[in-house]
Amino acid sequence: MEQMSWKMFIVTKAFLLYLTSCVFKVRVAGKLADVCATCHVNATCDDKMDGSGGKVCNCMYGFLGNGITQCQDKDECQIGAGKICGDHTVCHNTYGSFYCTCLSGYSPSNNLVIFIPNDGTQCNDIDECKVQGICGEGGWCTNMQGDFNCRCQVGYKVQNGSQPFHPHHDKAFCKAINCGQPPSVTYAVQLSEAGTRYGSVAKFGCLEGFFQKHGNNTAVCGEKGVWEGLNLVCEEIDCGEPPALLHSVMIWNKLTKTWSGSGSGERG
Ligand SMILES: *[C@@H]1O[C@H](CO)[C@@H](O)[C@H](O)[C@H]1NC(C)=O
Ligand SMILES: *[C@@H]1O[C@H](CO)[C@@H](O)[C@H](O)[C@H]1NC(C)=O
Ligand SMILES: *[C@@H]1O[C@H](CO)[C@@H](O)[C@H](O)[C@H]1NC(C)=O
């Protein structure tokens, strides 16, 4: 009798233990499911690394946080474009990732618009001056790191701005220097056809019956856009009264100027 009750006790105890373990297992299973259900949308539910069979929420690649309430995009660009993408770059953060582009004035050596670090891509200076006419007519292009600028060539003058200028940002442009028609000189004629552009030369000669009293007979179209140097003064040739000779009679037409200039100045 006593033997029986002892056996019963053991069986009952074992049964109870079994029940308890079952309940525990159910609870654990419930807890497992719960863990995964609590994971953030940008997290994955992974096996615990400690071999306990437990589960854990891990933020996905490129996200930082506890995996449950927080998986924030990690701003990889925060440490600086130069450090992460290289020289002359711009770093662009995206959800869960990032990419690199070159600063304006630089082009990526992979010839694509974007690149990722360590793929061997470099940002190289673009020689904008290779583009014909980038500075416009009469412009002189100078390439610089990441940029360029323009000055005017000899014979051209900057308009609506100052030098150096940037044709993309400034209104300035180069215009050919033009002096217009050469000036006229009293009692003189222009000896040769001259242009009107910078460096053009116009020479003058006094009219017949006139002589070059003083001054410069050459006009040069200068960089200010005006004719320079010319200050020729032509004067009518006038011999005055002929000298009187002793013991002689003078037959004189009373003219003192050259034959052609007898009209005294009418040709001016
Ligand atoms: C999860 O990531 C996606 C982009 O991958 C993003 O659009 C979304 O807003 C994120 N969700 C939350 C709750 O942060
Ligand atoms: C240059 O500027 C003047 C006024 O300052 C303006 O009238 C003219 O249109 C400008 N020229 C060009 C080509 O922009
Ligand atoms: C006359 O003026 C021009 C323009 O300034 C100059 O180049 C030239 O040397 C001058 N000639 C003389 C003889 O002075």
Note the pLDDT of residue 22. Answer: 45
Note the pLDDT of residue 108. Answer: 94
- Highest mean pLDDT: which of 49-58, 88-97, 204-213? 204-213
Q: What is the 8-class DSSP label of residue 206?
A: E
Does the beta carbon of 171 lie inside 6 Å of ligand 2?
A: yes
Q: Are the C-beta atoms of residues 171 and 160 closer than 8 Å to each other?
A: yes
Q: How confident is the model at residue 268 (pLDDT cuts 50, 70, 90)?
A: very low
| Tens-place pLDDT, residues 157-196 | 999 999 999 999 999 999 999 999 999 999 999 998 889 9
CATH number for the domain running over 129-176: 2.10.25
Ligand 1 centroid to Cα of residue 40, in Å, is: 10
96 CA: nearest ligand 1 atom: 5
Lowest pLDDT segment from 162-166, 229-233, 251-255:
251-255
Sign of CA dihedral 152, 157, 162, 165: negative
Which of 158, 159, 160 most suits a substitution to test ligand 2, by most atoms within 8 Å of the C-beta? 160
Domain with CATH 2.10.70.10 in the chain: 188-236
217 CA: nearest ligand 3 atom: 1
Q: Are the C-beta atoms of residues 83 and 91 closer than 8 Å to each other?
A: no
Nearest CA to ligand 1 atom 4: 95
CA separation for the pair 115, 124 (Å, rounded): 13
Domain with CATH 2.10.25.10 in the chain: 2-73, 76-125
Contact residues for 244 (Cβ-Cβ < 8 A; gap 6+): 250
Q: Are the C-beta atoms of residues 154 and 144 closer than 8 Å to each other?
A: no
Full DSSP string of 32-76: HHHHHHTS-TTEEEEE-TTSSS-EEEEEPTTEES-SSS--EEP-G
CA separation for the pair 260, 256 (Å, rounded): 11
CA separation for the pair 150, 153 (Å, rounded): 9
Ligand 2 centroid to Cα of residue 160, in Å, is: 6
Does the beta carbon of 125 lie inside 6 Å of ligand 3?
A: no
171 CA: nearest ligand 2 atom: 14
How confident is the model over 245-259, as a mean pLDDT?
A: 87
**Dihedrals phi, psi of 180, to nearest 5 degrees:** 75, -170
Ligand 3 centroid to Cα of residue 179, in Å, is: 17
Does the beta carbon of 229 lie inside 6 Å of ligand 3?
A: yes
Q: Could you confirm whether domain 2-73 is CATH 2.10.25.10?
A: yes
Contact residues for 50 (Cβ-Cβ < 8 A; gap 6+): none
Note the pLDDT of residue 52. Answer: 85
Q: Are the C-beta atoms of residues 180 and 162 closer than 8 Å to each other?
A: no
Q: How confident is the model at residue 32 (pLDDT cuts 50, 70, 90)?
A: low
Does the beta carbon of 160 lie inside 6 Å of ligand 2?
A: yes
CATH topology for 188-236 is Complement Module; domain 1 (2.10.70)
> For the chain, what is the radius of gyration of the CA atoms?
50
Query: Class of 76-125 per CATH?
Result: mainly beta
Q: Are the C-beta atoms of residues 187 and 236 closer than 8 Å to each other?
A: yes
Asked if the model's pLDDT at residue 242 lies above 60, the reply is yes
Note the pLDDT of residue 12. Answer: 57
Does the beta carbon of 218 lie inside 6 Å of ligand 3?
A: yes
Residue listed under structure tokens 């290289």: 86
Ligand 1 centroid to Cα of residue 42, in Å, is: 6
Q: How confident is the model at residue 11 (pLDDT cuts 50, 70, 90)?
A: low
